[in-house]
């Protein structure tokens, strides 16, 4: 399962995710793509199990879980770290504001 770092922007109430750790499946897929590209062939573009490579935030009871993954072994979240940004807008809202 891929692990993500979540950033919550207080000013606009948006969340963004940054990939922090590749899962083994995704890493193997990227290696195969790299080998294929070096062989001058068309690279495969699908991930075999994409559901394990997306950020997930739901706990077992279906509620939003913003806690660290290690705090609740039964949680279905793969967000391993949260940062709360109290001062800035998310990049999308900042871009809209500056336009």
Residue 56 to residue 33: CA distance in whole angstroms: 25
The structural domain count of the chain equals 1
Helix and strand totals (H; E) in the chain: 2, 3
Vertex 76: Cα angle to 69 and 72 (nearest 5):
40
**1-40 pLDDT per residue, tens:** 788 898 999 999 999 998 888 887 778 877 887 776 665 5
Domain interval for residue 42 = 3-98
Report the phi/psi class of residue 13: left, alpha or beta, with left for phi > 0 and alpha for psi in -120 to 50: left
CA–CA separation, 76 and 11 (whole Å): 27
**Residue range 31-82, pLDDT digits in tens:** 887 776 665 555 555 656 566 677 777 655 655 555 544 444 455 678 888 8
């Amino acid at each position: 399962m891929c692990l993500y770092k979540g950033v919550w922007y207080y000013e606009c109430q948006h969340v963004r995710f940054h990939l922090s750790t590749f899962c083994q499946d995704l890493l193997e897929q990227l290696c195969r793509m790299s080998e294929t590209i070096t062989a001058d062939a068309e690279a495969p573009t699908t991930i075999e199990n994409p559901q394990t490579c997306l950020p997930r935030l739901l706990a077992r009871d279906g509620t939003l879980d913003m806690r660290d993954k290690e705090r609740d072994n039964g949680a279905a979240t793969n967000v391993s770290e949260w940062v709360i940004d109290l001062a800035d807008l998310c990049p999308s809202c900042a871009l809209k504001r500056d336009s």
